[in-house]
């Protein structure tokens, strides 16, 4: 009897206990990040050409969105990208990858990839395939798509990002959206567009829907004026340039 | 021995003591005080006020113990994005600076004595300062202006100058407001301006609207502006040339117009949104219709349409366009029917385009015989409910019966008056508004239309004077998308 009472009292004292909430345990991760509509997923290629810049550049920086998975930190952390299989560009010659510090509390971050206008760029298109490298703070992050909600678009974490870089007039990836309104890409057409419109980036993000619709009108008028004075404008393949 | 018993019983003793201390008798001796019960007893909780007018709300408070209490007051906006306190007085008395919309306002009366408060929610509808009526585009002493006759017959002589505290040089040509997009355009012979349709605030001029104008100023003829049925596109035809720009639900979405759309054409100043995707134009060089789908910047010849009796081929009309007006009009399918006055080799004709939301086709093509002065007629307005058309020549107003193919004189202004513009009140087709110039003095007349299409009692119902030389009458419309 005595012992039952003692045991009951002891149990009474310890009967309630605060339950700990399970939290993610493990090393935080990092991956490439894009909204699906941007088509920057695993199979898509981003492109950059020194020929498309408004001024002659020896180096330029391409910003690559990364997303962190795991816990936010109140301390600065470091992230690093490395090259993966398929890379034809040479580190240190055509591009530079550096360990970069991420500010505290940040979960989406633009990694600065430094591109170098090397001698080879004038006649080559180099490919850089990137993936997140293991650092003291991060491993490879969680991959996959997040379905769209009413307020958030479908977004994607992915492991490999392909970038084509050159000093030549290579057809930019964004031209897919321009085909219908601007017609086929050619280096001479691009130069004509830069001359008439005074801009070098014709991506939809830069020119908007009104640029997509209205710039071809300006170009058709300018081309008509050019042709009236000089005859047809030919591209690098001898084809007559036109805007649909 | 005693100690042994004590140790044996001690747990029982502790439990009993704990049980005693666990419960304590509560005397339940609360002290009750009467509080002042405040009620806001207004029957009217909804107010409509024009922007920049005064909003006055004087709530009625009833109290059960008024002598012993005093209050603080607050009036707060209650919108998802704005909960600003707009006043801290018993009565609300403010000049409304909010944009036109519907707002919830929460009135809070708090007792200083005990902090108990009472709430009341009011609905406030803020309308544009110049909501509806007629714009009178006129020139006085060599300077253009747009006057407004509001539906309550209050005349605003020059609201654009008052609202913007600046002058608008040049001769007034035209104004276009389609109750869409939150804005309207005003053309002088020197410039084009965009205004907020609610408060007439200036939203920009030619440099931001039409930077690629292909012809030198001044405009030779009054340009026209139109928004397409889907509200995606805006069109301007100025001195025969077409310009296109993206539109949107409000003026923030509006983008500059293109340069001149390339092509060999000389458009009549008229723009005809037909079905949802297509907008038509008329080329007086080739005397044929042209077309442009939405989100395109290519102006093409309209395809040939099969010729049937009393109809026409859109690709080869063979007549010169003189004037146009809408026929049947609904909110969602605005341009479902268009009437055209055309000049043929042997006189004037009435043609029409008609159709549903998806396709458009030629309608009638009839010579306007038995129509006095039709060859010199300058203004036309069609009814949207009767197969009738009004036209004017000099100081005479004629009513043309489309089915009977004949016209009769229904009104004559005094000698020396020249009719400058006539406009049908499109929402009812029961009011014809006529702008008349007597020399350089403009007058505006409202005529009510009876079931036969004639003027009630054979005369006008309202007359407004004091305008300069009238150039155009245009409907003032509220923004339908709001």
Indicate if the pLDDT at residue B334 is higher than 60: no
Q: How far apart are CA B427 and CA B334, in angstroms?
A: 11
Residue B267 counted as domain residue = no
| Inter-chain Cβ pairs, chain A and chain B, closer than 8 A | 46
Q: How far apart are CA B139 and CA B230, in angstroms?
A: 34
Nearest CA to A143 among A131, A153, A152? A131
The dihedrals phi and psi of B66, each to the nearest 5 degrees, come to -65, -30
Look at B246 and A213 and tell me if their CB atoms are within 8 Å. yes
The reply to whether B258 touches chain A by the CB within 8 Å rule is yes
Most B CBs within 10 A among A13, A208, A217, hence the mutation to make, goes to: A217
CA B445 to chain centre: 22
Q: How far apart are CA B354 and CA B357, in angstroms?
A: 10
- Within 10 A of B397 (CB to CB), how many other CB atoms are there? 22
Confidence of residue B84 (pLDDT cuts 50, 70, 90): confident
Q: How far apart are CA B168 and CA B162, in angstroms?
A: 11
Indicate if the pLDDT at residue B26 is higher than 90: no
**CA closest to A6 among chain B residues:** B11
Look at A221 and B259 and tell me if their CB atoms are within 8 Å. yes
The reply to whether B255 touches chain A by the CB within 8 Å rule is yes
**CA closest to A212 among chain B residues:** B295
Tokens at residue B349, please? 């004709």
pLDDT tens for B310-324 read 789 999 999 999 999
pLDDT tens for B407-443 read 999 999 999 999 999 999 988 889 999 999 999 999 9
Q: Which of B8, B255, B258 sits opposite A2 (nearest CB)?
A: B8
Residue B88 counted as domain residue = yes
The reply to whether B4 touches chain A by the CB within 8 Å rule is no
Beta strand B61-63 with B38-40 is antiparallel
Rounded average pLDDT over A208-214? 90
Interface of A with B (CB under 8 A): 2, 5-6, 9, 208-210, 213-214, 216-218, 220-221, 224, 244
Handedness of CA B13, B15, B16, B18 (dihedral sign): positive
In the block, which residue shows the tokens 């005369």?
B459
Look at B255 and A214 and tell me if their CB atoms are within 8 Å. yes
Torsion, CA B457, CA B461, CA B463, CA B464, rounded to 10: -160
ipTM of the complex: 0.72
**CA closest to B214 among chain A residues:** A221
What is the number of domains present in chain B? 1
Rounded average pLDDT over B250-255? 67
Q: Which domain holds residue B70?
A: 38-127
How far is A188 from chain B, CA to nearest CA, in Å? 22
Read off the pTM. Answer: 0.74
**CA closest to A12 among chain B residues:** B15
The reply to whether B212 touches chain A by the CB within 8 Å rule is yes
Beta strand A108-116 with A95-96 is antiparallel
Q: Residue B280 contacts by C-beta under 8 Å, 6 or more apart in sequence? A: B272, B273, B274, B289, B290, B291, B302, B314, B338, B353, B360
How far is A5 from chain B, CA to nearest CA, in Å? 7
Residue B99 counted as domain residue = yes
How far is B261 from chain A, CA to nearest CA, in Å? 6
Tokens at residue B342, please? 């055309």
Indicate if the pLDDT at residue B1 is higher than 60: no
- Within 10 A of B251 (CB to CB), how many other CB atoms are there? 19
Most B CBs within 10 A among A178, A180, A196, A213, hence the mutation to make, goes to: A213
Residue B305 counted as domain residue = no
**CA closest to B12 among chain A residues:** A5
Q: How far apart are CA A222 and CA A211, in angstroms?
A: 16
pLDDT tens for B263-309 read 999 999 999 988 778 899 999 999 999 999 988 999 999 999 887 77
Is there a contact between B453 and B430 (Cβ–Cβ < 8 Å)? no
Confidence of residue B481 (pLDDT cuts 50, 70, 90): very low
Residue B78 counted as domain residue = yes
SS (H, E, C) chain A: CHHHHHHHHHHHHHCCCCCCCCCCCCCEEEEEEEEHHHCCCCCCEEEEEHHHCCCCCCEEEEEEEEEEECCCCCCCEEEEEEECCCCCCCECCCEECCCEEECCCCCEEEEEEEEECCHHHHCCEEEEEEEEECCCCEEECCCEEECCCCCCCCEEEECCEEEEEECCCCCCHHHHHCHHHHCCCCHHHHHHHHHHHCCCCCCHHHHHHHHHHHHHHHHHHHHHHHHHHHCCCECCCCCECCCC
Nearest CA to B182 among B300, B83, B100? B100
Task: Name B391's bridge partners.
Answer: B380, B398
Tokens at residue A202, please? 């014709």
Residue B104 counted as domain residue = yes
- Within 10 A of B232 (CB to CB), how many other CB atoms are there? 16
Lowest mean pLDDT among A34-48, A79-93, A139-153, B438-452: A34-48
Nearest CA to A166 among A68, A70, A52, A55? A52
Look at B259 and A217 and tell me if their CB atoms are within 8 Å. yes
pLDDT tens for B344-396 read 999 999 999 987 767 788 999 999 999 999 999 999 999 988 999 999 999 99
Q: Residue A9 contacts by C-beta under 8 Å, 6 or more apart in sequence? A: B11, B14, B15
CATH code for the domain in which residue B44 is found: 2.60.40.10
**CA closest to B246 among chain A residues:** A210
The reply to whether B256 touches chain A by the CB within 8 Å rule is yes
Nearest CA to A121 among A95, A98, A143? A95
Q: Residue B31 contacts by C-beta under 8 Å, 6 or more apart in sequence? A: none
Is there a contact between B364 and B402 (Cβ–Cβ < 8 Å)? yes
Tokens at residue B462, please? 């309202």
DSSP B313: B
pLDDT for the residue B102: 86
Lowest mean pLDDT among A79-88, B161-170, B200-209, B244-253: B244-253
CA atoms within a 13 Å half-sphere pointing along the CA-CB vector of A181:
24
In the block, which residue shows the tokens 């300018």?
A222
How far is A62 from chain B, CA to nearest CA, in Å? 30
Domains of chain A: 28-166 (2.60.40.2030), 173-230 (no CATH)
Residue B43 counted as domain residue = yes
pLDDT for the residue B113: 82
Mean pLDDT of chain B, nearest integer: 87
Q: How far apart are CA A141 and CA A29, in angstroms?
A: 4
Q: How far apart are CA A60 and CA B283, in angstroms?
A: 51
Look at B295 and A210 and tell me if their CB atoms are within 8 Å. no
pLDDT for the residue B482: 35
Most A CBs within 10 A among B11, B213, B252, hence the mutation to make, goes to: B11
Look at B246 and A209 and tell me if their CB atoms are within 8 Å. yes
How far is B291 from chain A, CA to nearest CA, in Å? 16
Confidence of residue A129 (pLDDT cuts 50, 70, 90): very high
Q: Which of B12, B246, B262 sits opposite A210 (nearest CB)?
A: B246
Q: Which of A9, A210, A220 sits opposite B262 (nearest CB)?
A: A220
Residue B420 counted as domain residue = no
Handedness of CA B297, B301, B303, B307 (dihedral sign): positive
Q: Which of A2, A208, A217 sits opposite B262 (nearest CB)?
A: A217
The reply to whether B436 touches chain A by the CB within 8 Å rule is no
Look at A221 and B15 and tell me if their CB atoms are within 8 Å. no
Buried b / exposed e over A54-87, threshold 16 CB at 10 Å, is eeeeeeeebebebbbbbeebeeebebbbebbeeb
Rounded average pLDDT over A216-224? 96
Omega before residue B14 within 30° of 0, cis: no
* Long-range contacts, B307-316 (Cβ 8 Å, 24+): B310/B364, B310/B365, B310/B366, B311/B362, B311/B363, B311/B364, B311/B365, B312/B351, B312/B362, B312/B365, B313/B362, B314/B280, B314/B288, B314/B289, B314/B353, B314/B362, B315/B288, B315/B289, B316/B287, B316/B288
pLDDT for the residue B11: 67
């Amino acid at each position: 009897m005595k012992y039952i009472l003692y045991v009951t009292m002891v149990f009474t004292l310890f009967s309630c206990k605060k339950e700990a909430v399970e939290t993610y345990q493990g090393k935080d991760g990092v991956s490439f990040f894009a909204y699906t509509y941007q088509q920057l997923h695993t199979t898509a290629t981003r492109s950059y050409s020194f020929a498309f810049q408004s001024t002659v550049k020896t180096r330029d920086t391409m910003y690559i969105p990364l997303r962190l998975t795991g816990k936010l930190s109140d301390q600065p952390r470091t992230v690093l990208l490395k090259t993966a299989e398929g890379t034809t560009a040479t580190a240190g010659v055509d591009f530079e990858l550096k360990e970069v510090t991420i500010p505290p509390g940040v979960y989406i971050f633009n990694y600065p990839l430094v591109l170098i206008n090397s001698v080879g760029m004038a006649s080559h298109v180099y490919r850089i395939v990137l993936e997140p490298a293991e650092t003291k703070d991060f491993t490879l992050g969680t991959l996959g798509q997040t379905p769209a909600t009413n307020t958030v678009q479908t977004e994607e974490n992915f492991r490999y990002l392909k970038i084509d870089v050159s000093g030549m007039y290579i057809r930019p990836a964004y031209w897919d959206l321009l085909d219908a309104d601007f017609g086929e890409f050619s280096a001479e057409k691009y130069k004509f567009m830069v001359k008439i419109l005074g801009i070098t980036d014709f991506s939809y993000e830069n020119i908007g829907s009104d640029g997509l619709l209205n710039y071809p009108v300006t170009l058709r008028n300018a081309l008509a004026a050019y042709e009236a004075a000089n005859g047809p404008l030919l591209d690098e393949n001898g084809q007559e340039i036109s805007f649909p | 021995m005693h100690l042994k018993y004590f140790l044996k019983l001690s747990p029982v003793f502790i439990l009993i003591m704990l049980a005693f201390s666990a419960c304590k008798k509560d005397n339940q001796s609360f002290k009750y005080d009467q509080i002042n019960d405040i009620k806001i007893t207004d029957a009217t909780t909804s107010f409509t006020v024009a922007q920049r007018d005064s909003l006055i709300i004087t709530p009625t408070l009833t109290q059960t113990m008024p002598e012993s209490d005093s209050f603080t007051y607050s009036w707060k906006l209650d919108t998802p994005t704005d909960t600003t306190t707009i006043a801290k007085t018993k009565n609300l008395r403010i000049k409304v600076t909010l944009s036109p919309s519907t707002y919830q306002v929460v009135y809070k009366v708090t007792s200083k004595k005990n902090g108990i408060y009472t709430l009341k929610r009011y609905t406030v509808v803020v309308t544009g300062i110049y909501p509806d009526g007629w714009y009178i585009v006129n020139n006085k002493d060599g300077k253009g202006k747009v006057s407004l006759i509001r539906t309550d017959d209050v005349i605003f002589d020059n609201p654009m100058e008052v609202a913007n505290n600046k002058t608008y040089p040049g001769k007034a040509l035209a104004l276009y407001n389609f109750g869409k997009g939150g804005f309207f355009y005003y053309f002088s012979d020197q410039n084009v301006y965009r205004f907020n349709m609610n408060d007439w605030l200036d939203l920009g001029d030619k440099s931001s609207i039409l930077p690629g104008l292909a012809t030198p100023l001044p405009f030779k003829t009054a340009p026209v502006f139109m928004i397409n049925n889907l509200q995606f596109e805006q069109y301007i035809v100025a001195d025969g040339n077409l310009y296109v720009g993206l539109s949107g639900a409000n003026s923030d979405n509006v983008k500059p117009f293109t340069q001149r759309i390339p092509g060999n054409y000389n458009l009549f100043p008229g723009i005809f949104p037909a079905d949802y995707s297509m907008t038509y134009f008329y080329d007086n060089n080739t005397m044929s219709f042209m077309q442009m789908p939405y989100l395109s910047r290519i102006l093409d010849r309209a395809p040939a349409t099969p010729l049937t009796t009393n109809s026409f081929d859109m690709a080869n009309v063979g007549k010169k366009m003189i004037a146009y007006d809408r026929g049947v009009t609904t909110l969602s399918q605005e341009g479902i029917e268009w009437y055209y006055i055309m000049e043929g080799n042997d006189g004037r004709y009435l043609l029409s385009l008609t159709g549903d939301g998806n396709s458009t086709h030629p309608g009638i093509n009839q010579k306007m015989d038995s129509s006095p002065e039709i060859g010199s007629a300058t203004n036309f307005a069609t009814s949207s409910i009767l197969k009738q058309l009004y036209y004017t020549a000099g100081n005479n107003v004629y009513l043309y019966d489309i089915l009977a193919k004949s016209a009769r004189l229904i009104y004559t202004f005094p000698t020396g008056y020249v009719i400058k513009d006539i406009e049908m009140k499109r929402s009812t087709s029961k009011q014809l508004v006529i702008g008349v110039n007597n020399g350089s003095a403009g007058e505006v007349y409202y005529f009510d239309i009876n079931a036969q299409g004639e003027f009630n009692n054979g005369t006008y119902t309202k007359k407004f004077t004091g305008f300069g030389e009238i150039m155009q009458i245009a409907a003032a419309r509220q923004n339908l998308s709001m």
